[in-house]
Amino acid sequence: MKFLFWNSKGTGSKAFLSLICELSKKHNIDILAILETISSGNKATKITQSLGFDKFSLVDAHGYSGGLWVLWKKTAWSCRIISTHEQYIHFYIEDGTTKAYFTAIYASPNPIKRRTLWQALGEIHKYIDAPWHIGKDFNSTLYVLESASTSRVGSTIDCNFSLWVTDLGLISLAIGIFFWASASN
């Protein structure tokens, strides 16, 4: 199974559509999570229907911020959406012998709203019984070096994010992607 987390920073251009279709075809992507879509409603549905995936789940953007899409193809893997929230889509995949959880995230730039995200994900963690892959745009940093911004505001470390990562025992696979394995795996 091939999976891609993609922070699009907007999905309205024709270039976006052709890029996603080309990437999907070239790399045979089975599940695609698109973050920061900045699209909602009928526009979002119309775009997702044109991307060549069999099924999808959407979380609308709020004004010019946010938005999440998870799209998947019917394959040997079964994909089931467990819950959606304005800052994430949480889902489960399995093929009969292997199972895993995924949570696609676009965290609010607002630290107060992000705090509710960390709490919600902490609750989800209590029910995880298989590997859990979490990513991608947390709008937070663990280390000052992670920030690509030259702004002092953009480079501050989010203590609540750091506590969440530590409390859940997450393992960083790359900037913006975390993994958790249950004790039984």
Residue 39 in any domain: the answer is: yes
Give the pLDDT confidence of 148-170 residue by residue, as tens digits.
554 444 446 778 888 888 888 88
State how far the alpha carbon of 141 is from the alpha carbons of 55, 88, 157, in Å: 32, 18, 5
> Quick one: pLDDT at residue 155?
45
Work out how many domains the chain is built from and give that number: 1
Sorted by sequence, the CB contacts under 8 Å of residue 88 that are 6+ apart come out as 59, 68, 103, 104, 105, 106, 117, 120, 121
Residue 143 in this model has a pLDDT that exceeds 80: no
Residue 123 in any domain: the answer is: yes
Give the pLDDT confidence of 105-116 residue by residue, as tens digits.
999 888 888 889
Q: Provide the pLDDT confidence category of residue 179 given band limits of 50, 70 and 90.
A: low
Residue 94 in any domain: the answer is: yes
Give the pLDDT confidence of 35-67 residue by residue, as tens digits.
888 888 898 898 889 888 999 999 988 877 788
* pTM given for the model: 0.84
Mean of per-residue pLDDT scores for the chain: 82
> Quick one: pLDDT at residue 117?
92
Q: Provide the pLDDT confidence category of residue 86 given band limits of 50, 70 and 90.
A: very high
Tell me, what CATH number does 137's domain have?
A: 3.60.10.10
More confident residue, 8 or 72: 72
Residue 17 in this model has a pLDDT that exceeds 90: no
Q: Is 104 helix (H, G, I), strand (E, B) or coil?
A: strand
Residue 115 in any domain: the answer is: yes
Range of the domain at 65: 3-180
Question: Can you tell me the mean pLDDT for 98-107?
Answer: 91
Residue 185 in any domain: the answer is: no
> Quick one: pLDDT at residue 91?
94
More confident residue, 15 or 130: 130
